[in-house]
Structure 1
Amino acid sequence: MKPLLFSYTSHPIIERDLIPLLTEAYRNLGYETSFVNMPSDRFIQQFESGSLDGDVARLNQLTGLLPFMRLVYKFDEISMTLRCRPGISCEEADLDNPKNIIFIPAQTQVFSFLQLNYKAKIYTVRDWSQITEMYYAGKLDRFFWLEGNLLQNHKTPKTNSFMIKTQPLDIYHVLHESQAELIPLISAELERLIAKKAADPQGEHEFKPDQP
C-alpha cells in the first residue's frame, strides 16, 4: 500500500511531538506515512492539486481557501505574540514603529486572515525553526510567534513578549476530502493515544493537547 503523504511546517512541537504521534496513530490503523516539509504557499498549491493526503497541523481558517480540506482533530487553540530580546521595548506601539524590523515565518495567510497591517517592517524567513536559529545567532531581535497549550516549547528563546489581540486560531490535523473515510477512525485513534500519553507522566515527552 502506498504511504499516505502529509506535509508539515517546521516547528519544534510539530517535529518533536506531532509527527511521531501521527505516525503511530496511522500505523495502528494499518497505514504507513510519509512527511514532507512544506511552507504554506506550496502546501496550498499541492493540496489543491490533490498531491497530498493531508497535513500534520494547519490553521482551520485555511478551509476558506481549500474547500477539499477536512478538519480531523483539534490539537490546540493558539494566539500570536510579539517576542523581543530582553533589554529592548516590547509593546503594542512597537508594531507601528516603521524603524522596527519584525520577523515571521513565510506563512502570509496568517496575516491575511487576521487582517494584520503594521507600519513596522515585516520580514519573512523559511520557518519557525529558522527564527530561533537567527535569534540565537544575534541576527534578529523581534519576531512573531504562535503559542498555546500544546505549542509550548521549552527550547523557545528567552524573551519578553506581548500578546497580540486576534480572533481565535485553531490548529487541526487535516485530510484531503479524498481520504474522508479515515476521519472518524484517525480522530478516535488520536483521542486514544493522546489520553494514554497524558496519563503516562513517565513518557519521554509530556503531551498536553488543548482542553475544551
Structure 2
Amino acid sequence: MRRFLGLRFLCLLPLTAFAQDKPTVSIDSQPNIHFFKPVEEYLVKAYSRIGYRVNLIALSPGRSAKMAKSGELDGLAVRVEEIANTLDMIKVPVPLISGDLALYCQASVICELAVLDNPELVIGTLGGLNLTTQFMKQKKASTYQIADGAQLTDMFAKGRLDYILTFEIGGQSLFRTGNNDNILVDNVQKQVIRTVKGYHLVQHKHHHLVEALTISLKAIIHEQGHINDNLK
C-alpha cells in the first residue's frame, strides 16, 4: 500500500510542478544566423522579467514564417520592418538590430544596382519569406533561392553565383561559412542598397504583453547596450 501511495504521489508531483511554472511562449531560433544568439538572450531576459519563459525552436526563416502564420509560434525573434509589415502580427516598437541590405558581386562582373533589373542575370537569395526575396519581387532579374544561408555564401565563394543579396551588420554578413567568417569580404565587390531595422513580433493573442515587453527591452538595452554593439 505504501509503495502504491508513493507511486501515486510521484505521478501527481509533475502536475503540481507544471501548475506552478511560468507561462511559456514559443519563438523561432535560427542557429546559422550569427546575430540571433544575442537577440535570443535579450528576449529571454525581457520575457523573464514580465513573468514568462521562452521555448526557442530552431527553424529555417521560411519555416518559421509559415509556423507564425499558422499560429504555431507565439512570436518571431526578429524581422526587418519590411517583412514585419507583411505578417499579421504585432511589432514590439523597440529596434533590436539595424543593418544593411547589400548586393555582393564577384570581382569579375559589373557591380551596380542596375544588375537587379537585368532579366538575363540570376541573383542568389535566401529562400522563404525574408528581406532578400521580398526585395527581389520588385526587380526583373531571376533569383536562385537557397534555404540554407551558409550554402548560399559557399556557392558564391566557389564562383557558382555571380551575385547574392544578403543582410549584414557592421560589415559582417548575415551568414557565416565554416571557419571563414569574412568569406564575403575578400576579393569581391559590394553595393549597399539601404539600411533596415529589425523588431520582435508577437501574435495578436499576446497584445497585452507588448507594453511590458517594450519597457523590459528598453531597460535591457539601457543596461547592456544595443545588440549591434554586442555582436562578436
Under a length normalisation based on structure 2, what TM-score does the superposition of the two structures give?
A: 0.68
Q: CA deviation at 1:207?
A: 2.6
Matching of residues 1-212 of structure 1 within 5 Å: 1=21, 3-9=24-30, 10-14=32-36, 16-62=37-83, 64-67=85-88, 69-72=89-92, 73-108=94-129, 110=131, 111-112=133-134, 115-119=137-141, 121-147=142-168, 155-156=181-182, 157-158=184-185, 159-164=188-193, 169-198=196-225, 206-207=229-230
Work out the CA distance in 1 between the residues paired with 2:95 and 2:57. Answer: 21
Work out the CA distance in 1 between the residues paired with 2:162 and 2:140. Answer: 17
- State the partner residue of 1:202: none
Secondary structure of the equivalent of 1:12?
Answer: coil
Root mean square deviation, CA, Å: 3.3
* Structure with max Cα Rg: 2
Residue identity opposite 1:11 in structure 2: I
Contact 2:63 2:128 in 1 (8 A): no
Percent identical among aligned pairs is 21
Q: Deviations over 1:160-190 (max 9, x none)?
A: 211336xx74421011111122212222221
Distance 1:13 1:109, change over 3 A: closer
Contact 1:54 1:175 in 2 (8 A): yes
Q: CA deviation at 1:51?
A: 1.5
Contact 1:12 1:129 in 2 (8 A): no
Bigger mean CA deviation after superposition, 123-132 or 105-114: 105-114
Q: CA deviation at 1:196?
A: 1.8
Work out the CA distance in 2 between the residues paired with 1:45 and 1:57. Answer: 15
Under a length normalisation based on structure 1, what TM-score does the superposition of the two structures give?
A: 0.74
Secondary structure of the equivalent of 1:194?
Answer: helix
Distance 1:114 1:74, change over 3 A: farther
Residue identity opposite 1:100 in structure 2: L
Distance 1:152 1:106, change over 3 A: closer
Work out the CA distance in 2 between the residues paired with 1:115 and 1:139. Answer: 22
Work out the CA distance in 2 between the residues paired with 1:130 and 1:27. Answer: 35
- Judging by fraction of residues, say which structure has more helix: 2
Contact 1:80 1:144 in 2 (8 A): yes
Bigger mean CA deviation after superposition, 40-49 or 175-184: 40-49
Q: CA deviation at 1:124?
A: 0.4
Secondary structure of the equivalent of 1:74?
Answer: coil
Work out the CA distance in 2 between the residues paired with 1:172 and 1:93. Answer: 29
Structure 2 unaligned blocks of 5 or more? 1-20
